[in-house]
């Protein structure tokens, strides 16, 4: 679509077309210095051409005339010239874009301006920016990503390299984890041995206590038997003593009786 003439720009309050496939609007000149300028122009060239306009609000399409110094205008001209000098946009076969492919236009109104940078493609030609192919969609730029065919052997080598790189990166961590796990296992083994020893020691002490208890019970029973025997023997001894006392008493009484009898007999004789 043809752009309005300078006179038409000077008299209009709003731009008649919305931002889209052929138009990119910016409010101020600072956007001209972004890399997106080359990407947008490249996208226009690969689609159906288009215009990068500084001085239009994209929300209500109102024109915002910019007050620029002569140096600022010169800088903008040099910025566009550098697209050619620095080969920022090339054809797919690495040829330079031609001056008629990218055209700078400055529309003046009193002491203010609107900047227009137009991209006009050559028929049957494709363009790239920084070795990337851009296309224009509804109101944005689209980067064409081409799939790259990689031989199977290269894929295997890349996988092996990534696996080795991953192993090298994680090996210290894995080794540290294995060392930590080994230490935990050793601690568990020591704790198990200690628990087993404590269990065996407790079992041995319990058995010893049971044995000592049984032995004490046996001694008590033996002492009971001994005490019973002693009681019986003591009782027998007491009985024997009593018998001896009785015998001695009887003997003494008989002896006394005999002596008395003999005395009486002697008296009468």
Predicted confidence (pLDDT) per residue in 142-193, tens digit: 998 865 555 666 667 777 787 778 778 778 888 888 888 888 888 888 888 8
- Please indicate, yes or no, if residue 197 is contained in any of the structural domains: no
- Predicted local distance difference test score (pLDDT) of residue 84: 96
pTM summary value: 0.55
**Average pLDDT of 192-218?**
85
Predicted confidence (pLDDT) per residue in 225-238, tens digit: 888 888 888 788 88
- Predicted local distance difference test score (pLDDT) of residue 161: 80
Interhelix angle 36-46/70-85, nearest 10 degrees = 60
Domain that holds residue 113: 6-144
Whole-number Å distance between alpha carbons of 60 and 87? 35
- Please indicate, yes or no, if residue 225 is contained in any of the structural domains: no
- Please indicate, yes or no, if residue 82 is contained in any of the structural domains: yes
Half-sphere exposure of 159 (CA within 13 A, CB side): 7
- Please indicate, yes or no, if residue 95 is contained in any of the structural domains: yes
Whole-number Å distance between alpha carbons of 54 and 69? 15
- Please indicate, yes or no, if residue 61 is contained in any of the structural domains: yes
CATH number at residue 37: 3.30.950
Phi then psi for 63, rounded to 5 degrees? -80, 135
Number of domains in the chain: 1
- Predicted local distance difference test score (pLDDT) of residue 17: 93
- Please indicate, yes or no, if residue 176 is contained in any of the structural domains: no
Name the DSSP class of 126: -
């Amino acid at each position: 679509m043809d752009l309005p003439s300078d006179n038409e720009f000077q008299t209009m309050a709003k731009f008649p077309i919305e931002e889209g496939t052929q138009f990119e609007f910016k409010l101020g000149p600072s956007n001209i210095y972004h890399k997106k300028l080359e990407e947008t122009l490249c996208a226009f060239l690969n689609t159906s051409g288009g215009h990068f306009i500084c001085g239009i609000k994209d929300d209500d399409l109102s024109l915002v005339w910019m007050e620029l110094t002569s140096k600022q205008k010169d800088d903008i001209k040099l910025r566009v010239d550098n697209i050619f000098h620095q080969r920022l946009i090339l054809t797919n076969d690495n040829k330079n874009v031609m001056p008629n492919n990218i055209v700078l236009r400055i529309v003046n109104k009193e002491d203010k301006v609107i900047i227009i940078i137009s991209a006009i493609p050559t028929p049957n030609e494709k363009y790239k920016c920084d070795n990337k192919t851009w296309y224009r969609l509804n109101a944005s730029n689209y980067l064409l990503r081409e799939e790259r065919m990689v031989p199977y052997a290269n894929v295997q080598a890349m996988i092996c390299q990534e696996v080795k790189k991953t192993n090298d990166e994680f090996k210290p961590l894995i080794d540290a984890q294995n060392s930590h796990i080994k230490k935990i296992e050793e601690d568990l083994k020591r704790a198990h041995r200690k628990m087993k020893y404590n269990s065996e020691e407790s079992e041995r002490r319990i058995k010893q206590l049971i044995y000592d208890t049984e032995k004490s019970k046996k001694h008590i029973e033996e002492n009971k038997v001994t005490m019973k025997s002693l009681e019986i023997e003591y009782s027998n001894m007491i009985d024997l003593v009593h018998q001896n006392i009785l015998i001695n008493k009887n003997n003494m009484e008989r002896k006394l009786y005999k002596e008395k009898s003999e005395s009486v007999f002697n008296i009468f004789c």
